[in-house]
Amino acid sequence: MKNDLKDGDTERIMSKQQNPGAVWYIPHQGVYHQKKTDKIRVVFDASVTFEETALNNHLLTGPELTNGLTGVLLRFRKHHIAVMCDVERMFYRFHVDENDRDYLRFLWWENGKTDSQPTEYRMKVHLFGASSSPGCANYGMKYLADKNERQYPAASSFIRRSFYVDDGLISLESVGEGSSGLVCQRKVVSS
């Protein structure tokens, strides 16, 4: 949570809400990846019901913009040079309009002291666990690809055709093809 605050993804609620009916509190929990036991991810559960409704019941998923996995994988196997990437914390890369952030409130106990009063926070970004987040993030990626197509045509095509959610997979004919504006950061892996 300290990182979310530092990165500007979360903000502390400093004043009482003007319109009490336009607030929703989301329960959350920490989830560990079985291979990354030293790293915890906070997952919000927007499907939890209160008075027979849940936040996810009121969020729109939007059109299905996720590329088909079969097509992404088939194109990935086309050439001999493989390039893979991951958009780290993809949903957090896209901000929620300030007018809608009070629906993303949550309680947090500073420094894990659960015997004290919790502090109110709200997310400023799309979160893991909201039904609208995948559609918003996919739309945002494709929007950025369209907006920057003239300056970065190869990268634009890569984003539009070779991403499956937050993972980009593409194969190239040569290593030099990757340095034409498509590859921004390289990670060398020895076999």
Using pLDDT thresholds of 50, 70 and 90, give the confidence band for residue 110.
Answer: confident
Q: Give mean pLDDT, residues 45-67.
A: 89
Neighbours of 19 (CB within 10 A): 7
Is the alpha carbon torsion for 7, 31, 136, 25 positive or negative? negative
Rounded-to-integer distance, Cα 51 and Cα 66, Å: 33
Number of H helices, E strands in the chain: 5, 10
What is the H or E stretch that residue 67 is in? none
- pTM of the predicted model as reported, rounded to 2 decimal places: 0.78
What pLDDT was estimated at residue 81? Answer: 86
Rounded-to-integer distance, Cα 95 and Cα 98, Å: 9
Identify which has the larger pLDDT, 121 or 191.
121
Using pLDDT thresholds of 50, 70 and 90, give the confidence band for residue 29.
Answer: confident
Q: Give mean pLDDT, residues 59-68.
A: 88
Residue 108 CA neighbour count, 13 Å, CB half? 21
